[in-house]
A and B are shown apart, each in its own frame.
Chain A
């Protein structure tokens, strides 16, 4: 009986602390398991963050290629072909897609980071073809009507690259041509008239005489420069029978912020009419520069300054310039006749 009690007591003493070890082990296993979950969480967060960056960067790369297609559609010779020719190497320099005067352009200097993160540029490369017109990576002869375009979007250490082959397909299609039909090109002054601000000062106009045959106007170009400090409101052009007359056509809207600030190489800003505007022969018509919000309304929300270049001593015989048209929300106010001045303009027509 005593022996039995001794054995039982010994077993109990030997098993003391066993439960504690089990609990510690189980706790360790569970904590380790949850730590693995935590690592998975961090990975998931990184993955979704990367997913967002990939979406943003791939859209930017796609937009860069669309910008190249746009300038390609405008003119292969002027905008694409020379970028890989002597003395420029293939691959070409980096070109940065930027919007200038409401059109895509390819600049050689970076406009800065997009969204404060992404650096975006495109590179052109020559494309060679073999005797069967197949594209080959080496050998073959250069196809001057095809270029390999790579859009790069870089952020941190990451890069998204999208490649496309672009061809001068329009060379074989022909297409509609535009001719400069009426113009006044001698405009060199810009200091006296500014437009548009939100103080209700009104619109600027320039009239012109249509040529001896009826024409269909497709676009009007104006020599505009914006003030350096504040981007002006967006602008567009109306083609009217006179400054206050019926609107024959309204152009596309040009982003004020994209108009150049340079007064040295002043660009002509292109305003396009979606539908051709038919003008009768020898009749006088008026170009009215307008802003959105309107420059005719006081405190309209319009901002910034824009300069429309002009010439003095009444240099254009076919029309007159006016300022302050429709000022202070008065649609019947024909403005101040600038009898000594004329604003520059190009009127393009299409057959």
Chain B
């Protein structure tokens, strides 16, 4: 009888410890997953924008919104121009927590996943001299899929338009 009580006691303590550890592992896994989502989405979004801005030759001002946390950027590039066109236009904008990209002649695509939310996509224009344009990108991104575990990152990058030289 005494042995049984001791067995049950030990097993109870053991079970509690195991459950606590398992819960901690699940908790950590979720935090890591959320952080990984934020970092990988931020990196991919910034890289996608910089890859397009780098070889472009001009900013298309009428449809660009600078200095606003819900910004939009339209750029003109000679790269990947459609047949019978001399230039290619690319737009980036923030809508409903996602960063969208549209290339002329292609479908609109989201460059961030629905598992994260972009709170700020700000573009600031830099004009350093004659034909020396650049764009400062500020991207503030947070996790969205799981309200319990949150991660956030603010990324800053500058891309110069080098399509003219």
Contact = CB atoms under 8 A, between A and B. Distances in A.
A48 B35 contact: yes
B131 interface: yes
Instruction: Classify the secondary structure of A's interface with B.
Output: helix
Interface of B: 3, 6-7, 10-11, 14, 17-18, 21-22, 24-25, 28-29, 31-32, 35-36, 38-39, 42-43, 46, 58-59, 61, 66-67, 124-134, 136, 151, 153-160, 165
Given A103-B127, A250-B61, A274-B58, A73 B155 contact: no
B32 A45 contact: yes
Given A34-B21, A66-B158, A253-B66, A48 B32 contact: yes
A31 interface: yes
Given A34-B18, A176-B130, 7 more contacts: A45-B31, A45-B35, A66-B160, A73-B128, A102-B125, A102-B127, A218-B130
Interface of A: 17, 19-20, 23-24, 27, 30-31, 34-35, 37-38, 41-42, 44-45, 48-49, 51-52, 55-56, 59-60, 62-63, 66-67, 69-71, 73-75, 99, 102-104, 114-115, 173, 175-176, 178, 218-219, 234, 250, 252-253, 255-256, 270, 272, 274, 292, 350
Nearest to A233: B67
Contact of B127 (A67, A75, A272): A272
Given A41-B25, A55-B39, A55-B42, A70 B160 contact: yes
A62 B54 CA distance: 13
B33 to A, nearest CB: 9
A109 to B, nearest CB: 20
Contacts of A59: 46, 155-157
Contacts of A104: 126, 128, 134, 158
Contact of A234 (B43, B66, B129): B66
A169 to B, nearest CB: 10
A35 B6 contact: no
A255 B42 CA distance: 24
Given A74-B129, A252-B127, A66 B159 contact: yes
A326 B118 CA distance: 37
A27 to B, nearest CB: 5
